[in-house]
């Protein structure tokens, strides 16, 4: 018997019938909804390639059962740009060469967006490295990734201050 599931993904509501309660959020996104920007790396929660935001918090979607997400708001890499305008984190990754092969980049970007919204980096490169340690880059683009996160954090913080003024 199918299990009904309601999700809001990248701002759009989805009513989904799950035939198997063991389907992960990652597999649902990639195989049922064709949102393939979220990558399947290790499928064990160790690499961070599958990072998405659920209700604003970053998670490894390969470890989350889709059925447990009923009613949640999910943001994937496909949902962070505003039309043709890149998200500040995406723009900073380009400017600081925060990627090489690009496989881990969607997960890195989603983790960075979550990290910045958590306001835990505090402009400190060491804290960024520690808080992003669950996202692996086999190409070794860590210096660019760290610089991109710090730059994006600064831009977002400045934009929020200007908006509040």
- Provide the CATH number for the domain around residue 40: 3.10.20.30
Q: What is the pLDDT of residue 110?
A: 97
Reading the chain (165 residues) residue by residue, the pLDDT tens digits are: 889 999 999 999 999 999 999 999 999 999 999 999 999 999 999 999 999 999 999 999 999 999 999 999 999 999 999 999 999 999 999 999 998 888 999 999 999 999 999 887 888 899 999 999 999 988 888 999 999 999 999 999 998 889 888
Q: What is the pLDDT of residue 87?
A: 96
Judge whether 104 and 137 are in contact, CB under 8 Å: yes
Q: Residues 69, 13: one domain? A: yes
Q: Residues 95, 132: one domain? A: yes
Q: Residues 152, 126: one domain? A: yes
Quick one: which of 136, 110, 135, 133 has its CA closest to 56? 110
- DSSP letter at 64 equals S
Quick one: which of 128, 135, 133 has its CA closest to 149? 128
DSSP helix/strand/coil, 24: strand
Q: What is the pLDDT of residue 122?
A: 85
Gap between the Cα atoms of 45 and 63, Å rounded: 6
Domain boundary, last residue among 79, 99, 132: 79
Judge whether 132 and 112 are in contact, CB under 8 Å: yes
Q: Residues 117, 143: one domain? A: yes
Q: Residues 61, 122: one domain? A: no
Q: Residues 36, 53: one domain? A: yes
Domain boundary, last residue among 79, 110, 128: 79
Domain boundary, last residue among 26, 60, 79: 79
Chain Cα centroid distance, residue 41: 14
* pLDDT tens digits for range 114-145: 999 988 788 889 999 999 999 998 888 899 99
Domain that holds residue 153: 88-164
Indicate the pTM of the whole model.
0.93
- DSSP letter at 67 equals G
Gap between the Cα atoms of 28 and 36, Å rounded: 10
Q: Residues 14, 36: one domain? A: yes
**Domains in the chain: how many in total?**
2
Q: Residues 33, 55: one domain? A: yes
Q: What is the pLDDT of residue 96?
A: 94
């Amino acid at each position: 018997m199918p299990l009904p599931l309601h999700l809001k993904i990248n701002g759009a509501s989805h009513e989904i019938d799950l035939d198997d309660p063991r389907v992960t959020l990652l597999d649902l996104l990639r195989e049922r909804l064709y949102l393939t920007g979220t990558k399947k790396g290790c499928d064990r929660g160790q690499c961070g390639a599958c990072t998405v935001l659920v209700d604003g918090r970053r998670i490894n979607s390969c470890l989350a059962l889709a059925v447990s997400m009923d009613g949640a708001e999910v943001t994937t890499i496909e949902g962070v740009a505003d039309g043709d305008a890149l998200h500040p984190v995406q723009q900073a990754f380009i400017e600081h060469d925060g990627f090489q092969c690009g496989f881990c980049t969607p997960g890195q970007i989603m983790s960075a967006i979550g990290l910045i919204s958590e306001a835990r980096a505090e402009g400190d490169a060491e804290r960024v490295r520690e808080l992003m340690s669950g996202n692996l880059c086999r190409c070794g683009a860590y210096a660019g990734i760290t610089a991109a996160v710090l730059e994006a954090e600064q831009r977002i913080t400045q934009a929020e201050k200007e908006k509040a003024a």
